[in-house]
Amino acid sequence: ETTLTQSPAFMSATPGDKVNISCKASQDIDDDMNWYQQKPGEAAIFIIQEATTLVPGIPPRFSGSGYGTDFTLTINNIESEDAAYYFCLQHDNFPRTFGQGTKVEIK
Amino acid sequence: EVQLVESGGGLVKPGGSLRLSCAASGFTFSSYSMNWVRQAPGKGLEWVSSISSSSSYIYYADSVKGRFTISRDNAKNSLYLQMNSLRAEDTAVYYCAREVPNYGFFDYWGQGTLVTVSS
């Protein structure tokens, strides 16, 4: 089973900041990493597929990078509407596993 | 518009049973594998179970194997999770999620339904 270690668990940002969220896999998962955004009471939204591909309809201030074991979700010029819980998911092997999540607060 | 709407959650005593449903719309349900994922209070997400489009392939997390049963009715565009012998540690929000064919990641999620196991 692939363990995903996501950090930080919580972060507070100011509008306009650049934010980085890390997800480290316990074994090589190629580019089989995905990122999601979830707001309280709402369905999770798919934002980055296969490590670097922006899902259609997602603002270009979101980007993903990484390969193998180290992955990063970056939010450039963060906006107040980006306050949410973000999590990563690997689909390289079974069982599918998730990072512990990051709560992003906007000051 | 793709929509997944879970229902059936609630309060149940340890050892009890509950059946969750996920109503799908806005896509050809019979063409997609579907999954259940849960999140316990204050914890990260945990994959629970998956079922292929024609129900030929079914998988479970070790934590629920032998107690939970996933099923689907393609005629009704619905996914189900029968949960038996429930334990306190099964308390969580349960989400259904659509799986992208040939890739294995999840592209759409429901809003979730809360299951609380407590005496």
Closest CA to A102 of A82, A87, A90: A87
The verdict on A97 touching B (C-beta cutoff 8 Å) is: yes
Sort strands A102-106 and A10-13 into parallel, antiparallel or unpaired. parallel
The verdict on B44 touching A (C-beta cutoff 8 Å) is: yes
- Adjacent-strand bridge partners of A98: A89
The verdict on A57 touching B (C-beta cutoff 8 Å) is: no
Of A36, A42, A91, nearest to B104 by CB-CB distance is: A91
Q: Judged by CB atoms within 8 Å, which residues 51-110 of B form the interface with A?
A: 59, 61, 95, 97, 103-110
- Determine the Cα–Cα distance for residues A11 and A82; give it in Å rounded to an integer: 12
Could you read off the pLDDT tens digit of each residue along chain B, which spans 119 residues? 999 999 999 999 999 999 999 999 999 999 999 999 999 998 999 999 999 999 999 999 999 999 999 999 999 999 999 999 999 999 999 999 999 988 889 999 999 999 999 99
**Cα–Cα distances in angstroms (integers) from residue A84 to residues A5, A92, B116, in the given order:** 19, 26, 24
State whether B109 and A95 contact (CB < 8 Å): no
What's the pLDDT tens digit per position in A66-107? 999 999 999 999 999 999 999 999 999 989 999 999 999 999
